[in-house]
Structure 1
Amino acid sequence: MTRVASCSCGKLSITSNGDPTKISVCHCRECQRRTGSAFGVAVFFDREKVSASGISNSYTRSGDSGRSIEFRFCPACGSTVFWMPEFRDDLVAIALGCFDEPSSLVPTQSVYEASRLDWVRFDLNKPGHSDHIGN
């Protein structure tokens, strides 16, 4: 299956082929700041299964592991579309909300639960949700 994700203005996009390796809800403070929301959702694909088009700027920060994470965002609208974590250099993460059809992409894990906002809840009874979400 081929999926396309793009920024708000459409000038930066990334195409993925095949199924994601995992879909992760992240509650860390950095993802909260990056998204301006309660959490971020990363859809991870093998690096060789994605291709980007358009111009992007990058922002690199250190993760808790001490390794870098390079975020790619559109210089026109500012949307972060994808990122590459150094600790998993075989993967590319794509922002769930940037996909044309995000509803079929269901999270398989939830991380940084210690910084999850108390009011964030997930429906664990829906098919496809992992037992880790919402714990």
Structure 2
Amino acid sequence: MQYPVSASCQCGQVSYELAVPPQKVIACHCQECQKLSTSPFSVTAVVPQHTIQFTGEMKEWSRIAESGNENRAKFCPQCGTRIYHYNPQSPDIIKLKMKPVGASVDTSFAPTMHIFVSENPSWYLLPKGIISYEKGVIPST
């Protein structure tokens, strides 16, 4: 994928331009991400805040994560598309939810790891050879 890349919500009111590739791309299988995506997991591209520019009005929603951290979500108030998440204790890290415009299914933010695989539905088989963690805590080694 060539950078910068851009994306917009379903109605086009919110958009972004991302200057560099994500630091990592995580497929999260927790129950909350399954609710968000209506699938076995939700894909999140982790990017430094200074590498992305947003345009358009967004609304915010928050919840406390299993870790005890606050998880804030930005979304389009018109179409409801989830744009990104962030922890207010680490606002310099954006957890991007929108796929780039024009990116093919095979090249758009492919997961580099899977987390909370202990909550994965039995009918979804994890890809072979990919890093995975039973819970959301990623060891710092």
Normalised-by-shorter TM-score class: 0.7 to 0.9
Q: Over the residues paired in the alignment, what is the CA RMSD in angstroms?
A: 2.0
Q: CA deviation at 1:131?
A: 2.4
Given that residues 114 and 130 in structure 2 are in contact (C-alpha distance below 8 angstroms), is that contact kept between their aligned partners in structure 1?
no
Name the structure 2 match of 1:116.
120
Select the structure that is richer in helix. 1
Q: Which runs of 5+ in 1 are unaligned?
A: 125-129
Does residue 1:103 correspond to 2:102, yes or no?
no
Q: Note if contact 1:5-1:94 (Cα within 8 Å) is conserved in structure 2.
A: no
Q: What is the aligned length? A: 129
CA contact (8 A) 1:56 1:74 kept: yes
How far 1:53 sits from its partner (Å)?
Answer: 0.7
Distance 1:87 1:24, change over 3 A: farther
Could you tell me which amino acid in structure 2 is paired with residue 118 of structure 1?
S
CA drift at 1:133: 4.8
State the percentage of identical aligned residues: 23
Instruction: Tell me which stretches of 4 or more aligned residues in structure 1 moved more than 6 Å.
Output: none
Tell whether the 8 Å contact from 1:121 to 1:134 is kept in structure 2 after alignment.
Answer: no
**1:5-84 to 2 correspondence within 5 Å?**
5-84=7-86
TM-score, normalised by the number of residues in structure 1:
0.84
* Ranges in structure 2 where 5+ consecutive residues have no aligned partner: 135-141
